[in-house]
Amino acid sequence: MSYRTETDITRRTYLKLTGASSAVGLTGVAGCLGDESDVITPGTAPGFPPFEMREDGELIGFDIDLLEAVVGETDYELGEWETFEFDGLIPALTANEEIDVIAAAMTITEDRQETIAFSDPYWESDQAVLVREGGDFQPTEWADFEGRPVGAQSGTTGADQVSQNLIDPGIIDEDDYSSYGNYVFAVEDLENANIDAVVIDLPVAETFAAQRNVEIAFIEETGEEFGFGLRQGESEFQSALNDGIAAVRDDGTYAEITDRWFGQE
């Protein structure tokens, strides 16, 4: 975890100093640190409204507000947000340690749990198929997609649905699938008739349908759960996040944030 202090001495540096030489005592080092504050760096992937997006250059959304509220219930302090394409978030968390927590409507899956840990779930979702509003392609099931170009965001469960339900069964060819770094680009391609459908999380599909010339053709009930991602082995931080999620649910903050971004609890 990217711990920082008011004196810009990291916890890793502190541990090196305290263990490097018997000439430096614990009291002396602790005294120069003063009151230590655990600052965590959050990461997200804008372009997934209403969970995370940019508006007039400002990073806003449900995940942004929720993580800030959750961390506010802990002894940790939230640092500056870092942004990535969705499939770059886990490497930024694990390999590069550029961030300490992922808040990006990330579905808790067994595959991801082999690499990272998750907080308790904070949202449930299904998958939806977006098509052009009033267009000639109005599928009601996956079999209707034969030969149709389809898009999804790289690294998402929407992309997994394309593989499982369309490419693997041979309903569409790999060449019929377009992968995007951002769902905004996918929806723009849909509007411009470069693809005929986008597979995407239901609440995000509903947001795009309210703002763009697209509509939901049908819903695939996947029963997904979103969680905050963190590095494995950080049980103290994980427990703090879980306690924070419970606290904002109990005090009504979660309902307020949900109503702000979805208009309902």
Mean pLDDT of the 115-135 span: 97
| Tens-place pLDDT, residues 179-225 | 999 999 999 999 999 999 999 999 999 999 999 999 999 999 999 99
Kindly state whether residues 204 and 85 are assigned to the same domain. Answer: no
Kindly state whether residues 99 and 148 are assigned to the same domain. Answer: no
Torsion sign (Cα): 165, 169, 170, 174: positive
pLDDT at 96: 87
- Number of domains comprising the chain: 2
Tokens, residue 194: 């470069």
Kindly state whether residues 210 and 153 are assigned to the same domain. Answer: yes
Kindly state whether residues 217 and 245 are assigned to the same domain. Answer: no
pLDDT at 218: 98
Kindly state whether residues 175 and 213 are assigned to the same domain. Answer: yes
Question: pLDDT band at 263, cuts 50/70/90?
Answer: confident
Kindly state whether residues 62 and 146 are assigned to the same domain. Answer: no
Does 69 map to a domain? yes
Does 231 map to a domain? yes
| Tens-place pLDDT, residues 144-161 | 999 999 999 999 999 999
Kindly state whether residues 79 and 97 are assigned to the same domain. Answer: yes
Neighbouring-strand partners of residue 28: none
Does 26 map to a domain? no
Mean pLDDT of the 122-133 span: 97
The backbone torsions φ and ψ at residue 253, rounded to the nearest 5 degrees and listed phi first, read: -65, -40
Kindly state whether residues 59 and 129 are assigned to the same domain. Answer: no
Does 10 map to a domain? no
CATH code: domain of residue 199:
3.40.190.10
In sequence order, the 6+-apart residues with CB closer than 8 A to the CB of 131 are: 137, 138, 139, 190, 196, 197, 214, 215, 216, 217
Kindly state whether residues 167 and 102 are assigned to the same domain. Answer: no
Residues recorded for the chain? 265
Model confidence, pTM = 0.80
Q: Where are the beta strands (DSSP E) in 175-256?
A: 177-180, 197-201, 214-226, 229-230
Kindly state whether residues 242 and 113 are assigned to the same domain. Answer: yes
Does 201 map to a domain? yes
Q: Which domain holds residue 51?
A: 37-122+227-262
Does 145 map to a domain? yes
Kindly state whether residues 54 and 134 are assigned to the same domain. Answer: no
Does 139 map to a domain? yes
Does 206 map to a domain? yes
pLDDT at 80: 97
Residues 155, 197: Cα–Cα separation, whole Å? 17
- The CA-atom distances, in angstroms, between 3 and each of 37, 61, 97, 234 are 8, 25, 11, 13
